[in-house]
């Protein structure tokens, strides 16, 4: 028996294929949704789900939630006297689901297909697989949440050729995917998203509105009071489902605070979050080379899409009503269970070929020649561009950069920045080469990325035929988005160069943004233009800088116009 699991930020579900239909397995409380919350008492007893959620209101220091956002990082969660990683906390949730399934099915359940956000990077996907294994599952397949939703949706389509957009807003993450179904092939055209945007953030907006309205300093409150207020904010948010106003009632130091808020005021306060949703949508459409008019259906996925503020926003943005024919809470687990049935070769399931994409660009660090033949290191060479259909393999020939070089080090990086140092370091390979003049020795570097998000890198020395290979497994080398941001800020704070003049800085930032949004030849043009401008800044000649700045601005204006 292979089951499908939706391991969510807020809630998790497990399901299986029964005959020709998918059934969601209820938990020990008889409910389909199990809150992704873990709590540990003084005796070391672990609670999962609604019990842990309730316990968290009394013992917030012994309870953890929203830990999915920290998957694949080194962050530790302290619950009383115990310390856990996000993978370990997730394994408790998965183990609870496993026990529910075995009780319900009255048989052992050993293998699972687990869903992850499409925008999860390699470390986060490996961490999810590890969590499953810690829970006692064999996890041979990880499926992206929008792909799982597309499977569930696509099986019900009456016509074969359809382009659709999956809008997946869960409790803690946001994904948008462009997919196309033709005959029995489900092709993912592009993915984009934000791993730090979800329903929890919409709750936080109400919470902050309450603090502001009542003049309360959040930092002055104890953890228990803050947990109660957060719960009331969540209930207030859900209250907008069938009313134009909702009320928060909270007791603080025996004093009752009541706050009534209109849906209109709440929607105004959510504008920053809604604006953050638009950018991944625009990026995915551009990467897929698809116009909004070509999209036939908008499919809503994730519990947060049930919020009226989100549904109104989606309807206005796309000028149409989204498809809600399948329960947004359950559509991912239905797809994961269907994928599991396909893996079992279940005859009741229409066989469907799935193609997925690489969510992030994978590349390496190289040195390039600049003015006067000066070599400049630290540049990023994309090997596999984001949204490349997988499995995919690509080879580049690289040469020694210095005279008498005896070793070539290939750094394996992941990210969208043109600066190698600002991308995520995944690992490296060092190969010996015969000593000689710069450019004499060469290596072929091959990146191969498969459907299970496994990256293999092969380096071959042309002259000696020496080969070295690495499969990326190291989970500790990945950095969180916050760590990357902190690093960039600390580096920026050290710069006291003329390039920090406001106009120059703004232009460089704009160029970097366009580089991250672009792919292929446009990226290479941007890299050259930005590098040339940085070289002019290094000369510190005001007249040359002014002229170069005007030229670069004109160039970027043209690029941005073409990208619209």
**Assigned token pair, 264:** 């209109």
Is there a catalytic annotation at residue 287?
no
Pairing of the two strands 2-6 and 111-116: parallel
Give how far Cα 400 sits from Cα of 24, 133, 274, 282, 365, Å. Answer: 57, 42, 48, 40, 13
Element holding 281 (H helix, E strand) = helix 271-288
Is there a catalytic annotation at residue 214?
no
User: Which residue is catalytic, options 88, 145, 385, 517?
Assistant: 145
Element holding 390 (H helix, E strand) = strand 389-390
User: Which residue is catalytic, options 68, 98, 130, 237?
Assistant: 68
Under a CB-based contact definition with an 8 Å cutoff, are residues 5 and 333 in contact? yes
How many Cβ atoms are within 10 Å of 411's Cβ, its own excluded?
17
Nearest to 470 by CA among 453, 451, 482, 456: 456
How many Cβ atoms are within 10 Å of 128's Cβ, its own excluded?
27
DSSP string, 150-200: HHHHHTT-SSS-EEEEEEEE-SS-EEEEEEEEETTEEEEEEEEEETT-SHH
- Grouping H, G, I as helix, E, B as strand and the rest as coil, residue 117 is coil
Is there a catalytic annotation at residue 544?
no
User: Which residue is catalytic, options 6, 87, 200, 329?
Assistant: 6
How many Cβ atoms are within 10 Å of 37's Cβ, its own excluded?
26
**Assigned token pair, 62:** 């012994």
User: Which residue is catalytic, options 168, 234, 478, 517?
Assistant: 168
Sign for the CA dihedral angle at 541, 547, 548, 553 comes to: positive
Helix 50-58 to helix 223-239 angle (10° resolution) is 130
Pairing of the two strands 63-65 and 392-399: unpaired
**Assigned token pair, 243:** 């009313």
* CB neighbour list of residue 317: distance below 8 Å, 6 or more residues apart: 278, 281
CA distance 344 to 341: 5
Q: What are the beta bridge partners of residue 392? A: 449
| 291 half-sphere exposure, CB direction, 13 A CA radius | 3
Under a CB-based contact definition with an 8 Å cutoff, are residues 116 and 97 in contact? no
Tokens 């997946």, residue located: 168
Q: Sheet containing 455-461: which strands, arranged edge to edge? A: 392-399, 442-449, 455-461, 467-471
- Grouping H, G, I as helix, E, B as strand and the rest as coil, residue 164 is strand
**Assigned token pair, 241:** 């489902």
Is there a catalytic annotation at residue 237?
no
Q: Based on C-alpha coordinates, what's the Rg of the chain?
A: 26
Length of the chain counted residue by residue: 564
Give how far Cα 237 sits from Cα of 136, 243, 267, Å. Answer: 36, 11, 11
CA distance 508 to 542: 17
Under a CB-based contact definition with an 8 Å cutoff, are residues 269 and 209 in contact? yes
Under a CB-based contact definition with an 8 Å cutoff, are residues 362 and 382 in contact? yes
Positions annotated as catalytic residues are 6, 68, 145, 168
């Amino acid at each position: 028996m292979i089951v499908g699991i939706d391991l969510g930020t807020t809630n998790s579900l497990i399901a299986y294929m029964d005959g020709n239909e998918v059934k969601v397995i209820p938990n020990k409380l008889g409910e389909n949704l199990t809150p992704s919350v873990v709590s540990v008492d003084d005796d070391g007893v672990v609670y999962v789900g609604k019990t842990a959620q309730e316990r968290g209101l009394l013992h917030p220091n012994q309870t953890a939630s929203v830990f999915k956002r920290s998957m694949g990082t080194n962050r530790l969660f302290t619950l009383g006297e115990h310390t856990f990683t996000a993978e370990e906390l997730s394994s408790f949730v998965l183990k609870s689901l496993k026990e529910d399934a075995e009780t319900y099915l009255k048989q052992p359940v050993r293998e699972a297909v687990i869903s992850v956000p499409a925008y999860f990077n390699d470390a986060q996907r490996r961490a999810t697989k590890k969590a499953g294994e810690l829970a006692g599952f064999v996890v041979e397949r990880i499926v992206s949440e929008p792909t799982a939703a597309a499977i569930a949706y696509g099986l019900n389509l009456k016509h074969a050729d359809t382009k659709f957009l999956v809008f997946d807003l869960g409790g803690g993450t946001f994904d948008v995917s462009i997919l196309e179904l033709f005959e029995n092939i489900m092709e993912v055209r592009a993915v984009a998203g934000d791993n730090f945007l979800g329903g929890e953030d919409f709750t936080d907006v109400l919470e902050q509105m309450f603090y502001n309205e009542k003049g309360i300093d959040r930092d002055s409150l104890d953890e228990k009071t803050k947990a109660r207020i957060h719960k009331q904010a969540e209930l207030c948010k859900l209250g907008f489902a069938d009313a134009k106003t909702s009320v928060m009632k909270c007791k603080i130091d025996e004093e009752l605070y009541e706050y009534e808020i209109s849906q209109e005021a709440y929607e105004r306060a959510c504008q920053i979050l809604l604006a953050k949703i638009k950018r991944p949508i625009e990026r995915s459409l551009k990467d897929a080379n698809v116009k909004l008019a070509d999209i036939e259906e908008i499919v809503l996925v994730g519990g947060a899409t049930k919020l009226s503020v989100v549904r109104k926003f989606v309807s206005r943005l796309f000028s149409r009503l989204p498809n809600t024919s399948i329960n947004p809470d359950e559509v991912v687990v239905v797809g994961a269970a269907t994928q599991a049935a396909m893996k079992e070769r279940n005859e009741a399931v229409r066989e469907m070929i799935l193609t997925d994409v690489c969510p992030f660009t994978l590349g390496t660090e190289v040195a390039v020649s600049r003015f006067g033949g000066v070599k400049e290191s630290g540049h990023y060479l994309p090997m596999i561009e984001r949204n490349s259909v997988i499995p995919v393999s690509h080879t580049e020939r690289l040469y020694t950069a210095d005279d008498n070089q005896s070793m070539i080090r290939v750094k394996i990086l992941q990210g969208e920045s043109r600066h190698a140092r600002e991308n995520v370091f995944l690992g490296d390979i060092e190969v010996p080469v015969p000593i000689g003049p710069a450019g004499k020795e060469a290596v072929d570097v091959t990146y191969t990325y498969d459907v299970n998000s496994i990256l293999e890198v092969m380096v071959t020395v042309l002259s000696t035929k020496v080969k070295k290979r690495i499969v990326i497994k190291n989970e500790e080398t990945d950095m969180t988005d916050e760590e990357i941001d902190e690093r960039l800020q600390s580096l920026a704070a050290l710069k006291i160069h003329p390039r920090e003049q406001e106009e120059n800085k703004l232009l460089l930032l704009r160029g970097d943004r366009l580089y991250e949004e672009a792919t292929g030849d446009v990226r290479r043009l941007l890299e050259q233009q930005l590098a040339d401008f940085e070289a002019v800044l290094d000369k510190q000649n005001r007249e040359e800088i002014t002229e170069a700045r005007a030229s670069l601005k004109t160039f970027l204006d043209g690029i941005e116009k073409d990208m619209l």
